[in-house]
Amino acid sequence: MALSLNIVVCVKQVPDTAVERTLRAGDGTLDRASADGLINELDEYAIEEGLRLAELHGGEVTVLSVGPGKAAESVRKALSMGADRAVHVCDEGLHGSDALVTSLVLAEALRLVGFDLVVCGSESTDARTGVVPAMLAERLGAAQLTLASRVEVSGREVRVRRVSDAGAETVTGSLPAVVSVVEKINEPRYPSFKGIMAAKKKPVRTVSLAELGVEAPAAG
Q: CB–CB of 89/109 below 8 Å?
A: yes
Q: Evaluate whether 205 touches 189 at the Cβ level (below 8 Å).
A: no
What's the predicted TM-score (pTM) here? 0.90
- Give tens-digit pLDDT for 108-155: 999 999 999 999 999 888 877 889 999 999 999 999 999 999 999 999
Q: Which of 168, 164, 73, 169 is nearest to 122 (CA)?
A: 164
Q: Are 173 and 151 a contacting pair, CB within 8 Å?
A: no
Do 171 and 162 form a contact (C-beta atoms < 8 A)? yes
pLDDT digit string (tens) for 167-202?
A: 889 999 999 999 999 998 999 999 999 999 999 999
Q: Is the pLDDT of residue 31 over 60?
A: no
Least confident of 28-32, 75-79, 168-172, 206-210: 28-32
Residue 200 DSSP symbol: T
